[in-house]
Structure 1
Amino acid sequence: MIRAALIALFLLPLPAWAESDPATAAREAAKRLDEAAISLSKADSARDRIKALSETLRAYEDGLEAMREGLRRATLREARLTREVQAREAEIAQLLGVLQSLGATPAPVMALHPDGPTGTARAGMLLADVTPALTARADALRSNLQEVATLRILQETAADTLRKGLNGVQQARTELSKALADRTALPRRFTEDPVRTAILIASTETLEGFASGLSDITVDEAEGSLPDIAHRKGALTLPVQGRILRHANEADAAGIARPGLVLATRPRALVTTPAAATIRYRGPLLNYGNVMILEPQAGLLFVFAGLDVVYGNAGEVLPSGSPVGLMGGQDAEIGTILSQAGDGAGTEATETLYIEIRENNTPVDPELWFKTVKDN
């Protein structure tokens, strides 16, 4: 009987271990949130406080995103392991029975066989072959059960980690907004005429028409342009963390196609300029919500539409990576994040940023300029 059980267990396949460890990923995300908290505490003494706070805010966004994903993967992994253990209860009981039988049998008795020396030799060879497999299976079972326990502890402590991270990101946004409001050292290329701007907005029906009239709303504009960035074409970082919802000229649900890119982002995500640029316009425009129009070089415009908050003033020259605004919406509540992770889902990217690039007032595919992940 023991021999049959040993052979049956030996023939069963071991579980696959090809996937990465979600518990490690979640712990790494928590570490990144801790590092962001340290960066926030040091931002006040940084030489460039706005840059330090921008980097800290991005670090918080990265850490929270990684934490959400790690928690989602941990939940899925824990559920999978639990199902596997439950589905193999009979096999586990059999394995434990065999191990208990072997452990309870005195060594001299195990060495003897009723068929005599030949049977004893064969039994010894069988035990020598199967024992490593039994040990491996027992170790795999023990590892699975330990991983389930670890994942459950991780999920139980996730609420506190998320709470600290969400508090930190909100504090970083507040500190950044204050630092931007106090900023006075930016160079200016022109002064905006508010009357001309109001007239242009009132008389404009399209983004193209507004963009073509931008040069008419300036006063005392300096000659020249910022350095050419043609060499960075195709390598610019997207202004906000998100995923492509619609590519250029791809129709939406209403059948409307626009020449720009639509990114789905998380609420309150930070939007930055991918290159040094002059602010040509910032504020509400048509049906685009708050719009930021940047000019990194003469004849080239970056249009970011759909922001909730915009930073800076028309005419100012921003260094590369400077914050230009925040997306709308509200940060998800901790309970929502945990419940979505329990369903195997991530927190939704509920906001959308429209990106249009215009060369000599003609729209071009933004993916010619920005580094994006291409569809397969």
Structure 2
Amino acid sequence: MRRLLLTIVLLLSAPATWAEPDAAFLAKRAALQLNAASLALRQADKASDRIAALTRTVQAYESGLVAMRKGMRHAAIREQSLQLEFDAKRDDIAQLLGVLMSMESTSPPLLMLHPAGPIGTARSGMILSEVTPALQAQAEELRGQLEEVALLHSLQQSSAEVLANGLKEVQTARTRLSQAISDRTDLPRKFTEDPVKTAILLDSSETLQGFASGLSHLADDGEREIDLPVFADAKGTLPLPVNGTILRRFDEADAAGIRRPGLLIATRPLSIVTTPWAATIRYRGPLLDYGNVMILEPSDGYLLVLAGLNRVYGEIGEVLQAGAPVGLMGGNAPNNSDFLSLSGDSAGSTRTETLYIELRYGKETLDPEPWFASKPD
């Protein structure tokens, strides 16, 4: 009996490893974010600036969905870890439960008796006094783990509905945003596009640099002066146009050895892209092999190139405020199972779209990364 008890104590003495960060906290906080976004969506149509309200709503949904995915992944991984731990210690746990049940069902006077007489009884009492606290501690640990499994399972079930609603409502918010932009008529215009000049420039340009150099000819002679904030002072303060993670940095070679003077950001399907600074739209549409491109002029001489979008918003010549939506990334909306897939890492496995960011001043290309205050996550 003594050998069995000591063996159980030694085998089960390793402390439990608790999830870090706490999965329940992450999931509950994400649920609050999604519920707040849902409320914002219902109120967006009443906002004085409907486009700005819907843009913030879409961004809130995107942030909440990412947080929900993180929380539910942590919950699923933690539950899986506990199950593997239980499986590995199944025999030891069974022995522990057997001993505890035996001690529970035996009356105290009988536990004090020993066939060897008083000396044996004293020795038995000493063994039990040493082992019982350890057994009790292991029993409490086991109970805590079982309660954690039940909590995690319940959490995943309750979060699934919130997640499904979030994935559905963010699509609704994007649709409403696109409609609001198409209905917009009050943006100031710095100039009116000349379609013939645009077509000629597209046909004659073989590189992004050549196209950017010719953009000044797209404006007609009636270009108006519109005061914009000084862009040169914004270095190090700009928000990122899209949430994502850096795949390639400025002038970094890709797998084929090709270098491009910009940042390549991996982001999630249908992510909203915004202008980080007040700017004039100099060009929007397909360009060379860059896909759909938005070229913004935040200040005279500067051009911000955003390439790889699926949908672009606005018209050439319009002046946008900082934070205004300029387009959406491509890809398909994920379903619940895809969104929560445990395969791959928590970042790259869902960031299937890429946004290319290039910053130009005159004929020079600048490294965009130092201009942003928040680095890609």
Give the TM-score normalised by the residue count of structure 1. 0.91
2:212 corresponds to 1:172 = no
Q: Which residue of 2 aligns with 1:62?
A: 63
Cα distance in 2 for partners of 1:18, 1:156 equals 19
Cα distance in 2 for partners of 1:152, 1:331 equals 26
Identity of aligned residues (%): 56
Q: CA deviation at 1:112?
A: 5.2
Q: Which residue of 2 aligns with 1:270?
A: 272
2:282 corresponds to 1:258 = no
1:324-373 alpha-carbon deviations (Å, 9 max, x no partner)? 000111112334335x23x4655521111110011223111111212354
2:95 corresponds to 1:94 = yes
Mapping of residues 191-206 of structure 1, within 5 Å: 191-206=192-207
2:236 corresponds to 1:234 = yes
CA contact (8 A) 2:19 2:78 kept: no
Cα distance in 1 for partners of 2:202, 2:344 equals 46
Cα distance in 1 for partners of 2:282, 2:319 equals 9
Cα distance in 2 for partners of 1:146, 1:374 equals 37
Q: CA deviation at 1:311?
A: 0.7
CA contact (8 A) 1:73 1:344 kept: no
Cα distance in 2 for partners of 1:374, 1:290 equals 22
CA contact (8 A) 2:190 2:226 kept: no
Q: CA deviation at 1:82?
A: 0.7
Mapping of residues 276-291 of structure 1, within 5 Å: 276-291=278-293
Q: Which residue of 1 aligns with 2:327?
A: 325
Q: Which residue of 2 aligns with 1:294?
A: 296
Cα distance in 2 for partners of 1:190, 1:373 equals 33
Q: Which residue of 2 aligns with 1:77?
A: 78
Cα distance in 2 for partners of 1:223, 1:357 equals 23
Q: CA deviation at 1:176?
A: 0.5
Cα distance in 2 for partners of 1:228, 1:300 equals 11
CA contact (8 A) 1:72 1:344 kept: no
- Compared CA separation, residues 374 and 173, structure 1 to 2 (3 A): closer
Q: Which residue of 2 aligns with 1:6?
A: 5
Cα distance in 2 for partners of 1:224, 1:46 equals 26
Amino acid at match of 2:62: E
Q: CA deviation at 1:69?
A: 2.3
Structural RMSD (CA): 2.4
Amino acid at match of 1:218: A
Q: Which residue of 2 aligns with 1:132?
A: 133
Cα distance in 2 for partners of 1:122, 1:362 equals 87
Cα distance in 2 for partners of 1:64, 1:224 equals 38
CA contact (8 A) 2:240 2:375 kept: no
Q: CA deviation at 1:196?
A: 1.2
CA contact (8 A) 1:76 1:344 kept: no
Amino acid at match of 1:262: L
CA contact (8 A) 2:244 2:376 kept: no
Mapping of residues 98-177 of structure 1, within 5 Å: 98-111=99-112, 124=125, 126-177=127-178
Amino acid at match of 1:102: M
* Count of aligned pairs between the two proteins: 372
CA contact (8 A) 1:206 1:286 kept: yes
Structure 1 residues not aligned, in runs of 5+: none
Give the TM-score normalised by the residue count of structure 2. 0.90
Q: CA deviation at 1:221?
A: 1.5
Name the SS for the 1:267 alignment partner.
coil
CA contact (8 A) 2:245 2:376 kept: no
Match of 1:308 among 303, 307, 310: 310
Q: CA deviation at 1:202?
A: 1.2
Amino acid at match of 1:175: R
Cα distance in 2 for partners of 1:104, 1:127 equals 15
Q: CA deviation at 1:179?
A: 1.1
Name the SS for the 1:191 alignment partner.
coil
Cα distance in 2 for partners of 1:237, 1:128 equals 63
Cα distance in 2 for partners of 1:5, 1:66 equals 46
Cα distance in 2 for partners of 1:65, 1:18 equals 18
Name the SS for the 2:45 alignment partner.
helix
CA contact (8 A) 2:79 2:149 kept: yes
Amino acid at match of 2:63: D
